[in-house]
Structure 1
Amino acid sequence: MDLGLGLGLRSDFFGVPGVIAAYDPAAQDFFDRLESQLSPDQRSAVNDFIVGGKASGWWALADAIWIAKSIFATSTETVLQNMRQDAYNATRQGTLTLDDTGSTGDGTTGYWNSGFNPATAGGNFSQDSSSLGVYSASDVANANYVELGNTHNSIGARNGNNKVGARSSASTTDQSVAGSPGTGVISTNRADSTGFAVYIDGAQLATFTRASISPASLNLYLGARNNKGVAGNFSARTLRAWWVGAALSEPQITSRDAAFAALWAGLA
């Protein structure tokens, strides 16, 4: 349990580098759920991430935000806490490494079971209003890797054709025309029943005309795809974070993606 007592960092409080009077309640709730004691700088980075997300509106539209740092996992590193709420805390499966660089699967067995089932969760995510996101630190191209998903919603950051492969309430994978570096915050965004878009670091990469179908009643896997109850498409990329929620506006996508980068830098 974090015992920070609600004190944080800001350089202009009483002239002392970093101390602020109190954290945002959502940030303090997250700190209280952690087993690790965060440094003042780390607590400040998390607080700024949440406060900025609330101001931009994307925080309220999220169901789950997982940050792949050992400080956000249990001491045994078997459970990764969901920053957004005390639910859908991801459980470790198979062989992977969790350290200061992120979460890296072995490409054959390692992933996180999010516990989030898009068909039954009843949160912000829905068939015609959804967003998935992954923050990738690896540029390798691989035709098999999926960084987040199940049979109807998934993201492959960079396939064998150097493209993003994505599904959004669909059973067919759409491939971007433009190339993908494989790194950065890569996300899908569906705001209606007719199609969806893919973004990288806040910029639109591709749009697809693809009628929506009901989300598969399967938990989303982080670092793999849940293929009708069987884990597959294991990714060996180093992944820094994942996001699940409702559709966002373009300004919200830009804000969220910049916030992930700023958070990661602040946690270093």
Structure 2
Amino acid sequence: MEIALSLSLSGAGAHESLLAETQALLSRFSVQPSMARMAAINRLIGALKAGGVWQRLDALYVLAAHDAQAAQRNWVADSYNIVPGGAPVFTADRGYQGDGNGYLDTGLNPATSGLNYREDDASFGFWSLTNHASESYDMGAFQSATVRADMRIFRPGAWFPAYLNDETFLHLAVSGATGLFSVSRVDGATRTVRANAGTLQTAEAGTTGVPNLSFHILGANGLSGRSQRQCAAAWIGGGLTEAQYGTLHGALRVYLEEVGTVQAE
């Protein structure tokens, strides 16, 4: 049965129906969010569907949730829900904070067949709320030096290294460590690293294989040196075009502004 949501926008009455995907997600929450947050969730999912992004995702984690159980849900489907390891700290409307030891295990092994994530068509990303330089790994899965998918958002010297099913070492300059950081590929020859609203660089990086272990957030599975950042959102899925990334970044930012995680630009 469709759930109807009544809203008042800019002083005028409006009516918004919850999408089937929103209803399915809400049914997986132990504690229901406020009506305002339901509306924000619905708009975020609607924007991702309209921009062709939702269909590309295997997992979307909006960690800046109303409670920890909701933060651990995969928005896309009732699979690959997060299991915390160690003691990362959850804060409502902010997300999970790493402590250098704890992590979030997604249970999503990118070598699993049937995913949008594939060797030559893949992406993942991390929304950071912490602006400090660190050698720690923020997200990923590391099988070996030649088969890996991982990122360190802001190393000392203002560098952002990321791998995506390859072994090509590239250091890309960034101006800070807050906002959305991602790596994507739509072919087997190149990968694109992005930060916030801009493309940082597309460079040659031939694929060498998909790591056969689950993705971690606030760390890279298979590597020591876990993150101490606070993560508001993360995703794993197929490769994103420039337009699709722009849709994802913009829609996530609107949601995070609406729930008070980040300030409006």
The count of corresponding residues between Structure 1 and Structure 2 is: 254
Q: Which residue of 2 aligns with 1:91?
A: 83
Q: Specify the code of the residue in structure 1 equivalent to 2:116.
A: N
| 2:245 matched residue in structure 1 | 253
1:192 is matched with which residue: 169, 179, 187?
Answer: 187
Distance 2:234 2:169 in 1: 19
Q: 1:146 maps to which residue?
A: 137
- Could you tell me the TM-score, scaled by structure 1's length? 0.88
Match of 1:10 in 2: 7
Determine the structure 1 residue equivalent to 2:109: 117
State TM-score, norm by structure 2.
0.89
| Residue 170 of structure 1: how far off its partner (Å) | 1.5
Cα distance in 1, alignment partners of residues 74 and 152 from structure 2 = 22
Asked if 2 retains the 8 angstrom alpha-carbon contact of 1:63 and 1:125, the reply is yes
Measure the CA separation in 1 of the matches of 2:96 and 2:116.
26
Q: CA contact under 8 A between 2:58 and 2:237: conserved in structure 1?
A: yes
Cα pair 2:190 2:202 within 8 Å, conserved:
yes
Query: Equivalent residue for 2:127?
Result: 135
| Partner AA of 1:101 in structure 2 | R
Query: Hey, what's the Cα distance between the residues in 1 that align with 2:67 and 2:44?
Result: 15
The CA distance in 2 between the partners of 1:121 and 1:91, in whole Å, is: 22
Letter in 1 for 2:62: I
For 1:164, the equivalent position in structure 2 comes to: 160
CA contact (8 A) 1:186 1:201 kept: yes
1:92–1:9 distance in 2 versus 1, CA, 3 Å: farther
In 2, Cα distance between equivalents of 1:98 and 1:225: 19
CA contact (8 A) 1:157 1:180 kept: no
Unaligned runs of 5+ in 2: 143-147, 261-265
2:32 matched to which residue of 1? Answer: 37
Q: Partners of 2:191 and 2:115 in 1: how far apart?
A: 20
Which residue number in structure 1 is paired with residue 41 of structure 2?
46
Alignment RMSD: 2.1
State the partner residue of 1:223: 218
Match of 1:66 in 2: 61
Question: Amino acid of the residue matched to residue 148 of structure 1?
Answer: M
Consecutive aligned runs of 4 or more in structure 1 exceeding 2 Å deviation: 7-12, 69-74, 171-174
Q: Is the partner of 2:258 in helix, strand or coil?
A: helix
The letter of the residue matching 1:147 is D
Question: Residue 164 of structure 1 aligns to a residue in which SS?
Answer: strand
Task: Report the equivalent of 2:95.
Answer: 102
Q: Deviations over 1:15-48 (max 9, x none)?
A: 54x653x201001100010012111110011100
Deviation at 1:217, TM superposition (A): 0.3
Matched AA of 1:175: H
- Per the alignment, do residues 55 and 70 of structure 1 end up closer, same or farther by CA in structure 2, a change over 3 Å counting? closer
Unaligned runs of 5+ in 1: none
Q: Distance in 1 between matches of 2:233 and 2:180?
A: 9
1:133 aligned counterpart, secondary structure = strand
Offset of residue 161 of structure 1: 2.0
Aligned 8 A contact 1:6 1:28 in 2: yes
Shift of 1:214: 1.3
- Preserved contact between residue 139 and residue 182 of structure 1 (Cα < 8 Å): yes
- Equivalent residues in 2 for 1:232-247, closer than 5 Å: 232-247=224-239
CA contact (8 A) 1:148 1:224 kept: yes
The answer to whether the 8 Å contact 2:167/2:205 transfers is: no
